[in-house]
Amino acid sequence: MNDPNSKKDKLVIAIDGPAAAGKGTLARRIAQHYGLRFLDTGALYRAVALAMLQQGLDPDDAEAAAQMARNLDITLLEDPALRELTTGEAASKVARHPSVRAALLDFQRCFAANAPTGAVLDGRDIGTVVLPEADVKLFITASAEVRARRRWLELGGEASGVPFEEVLQQVLERDARDAERSTAPMKPAADAHLLDTTELDIDAAFQAARRIIDARLNS
């Protein structure tokens, strides 16, 4: 019989938010701290996009993108080109196609369901669509300027030869595309905790997230 007072044996955490808000770093840290599996769902959309680019296909081609998502080549998840700005931009385009999202949905849900102690998934629609029953939902934000600066520094800053303004422009375009699409747009779930990291470094962001998760675990 189920004891209503017993602690849950699995912990599922959904982390959403715009590009370069620090979701990935935070999600990895949370997964490590609580002993959970981690899935970067943006990498799945990036892998579909990279396969399209490598084969000279147009990311706006819904049929070709869906085909690619159904037969996802998971070796692409290890490809360094996955992290390039052009791949991120193409990922945001393929992610608009409902057929692509549908093809990747089961994989994400199965990942969470099969994780022995639970999982942390980060993306744009985890709390709203992929795992609406998640135990804890976080929506991570930061100002566009701060997010663009972090992304630009990751690329190598001045030494990268990429102007900061170009990165900022891409961040703004990506935000608009991800938030305005009709299927599973990026938005906080009604029961998500908002965490603004504009003024927080990764340690402070992690401590803030930990307080939210621990409060839920002890409730």
What whole-number distance in Å separates Cα of residue 56 and Cα of residue 17?
Answer: 30
Candidate ranges 4-12, 28-36, 62-70, 84-92; the one touching ligand DC (CB under 6 A) = 84-92
# binding residues, ligand DC (CB under 6 A): 15
DSSP 162: -
Alpha carbon distance, N-terminus to C-terminus of the chain:
21
Q: Is 37 helix (H, G, I), strand (E, B) or coil?
A: strand
What whole-number distance in Å separates Cα of residue 196 and Cα of residue 85?
Answer: 24
AA identity, residue 57:
L
Only one residue has tokens 């899935």, namely 39
Q: What is the pattern of x (binds ligand DC, CB under 6 A) and - over residues 173-192?
A: -x---x--------------
When the beta carbons of 6 and 54 are compared against ligand DC, the nearer one is 54
- Closest approach of ligand DC to the CB of residue 192, in Å: 14
When the beta carbons of 93 and 193 are compared against ligand DC, the nearer one is 93
As beta bridge partners, residue 38 has: 120
* Near ligand DC by CB under 6 A: residue from 47, 52, 95, 195: 95
Q: How many whole angstroms from its chain centre is CA 65?
A: 19
* Near ligand DC by CB under 6 A: residue from 124, 137, 147, 151: 124
Contact residues for ligand DC (CB under 6 A)? 19, 41-42, 45-46, 88, 91-92, 95, 123-126, 174, 178
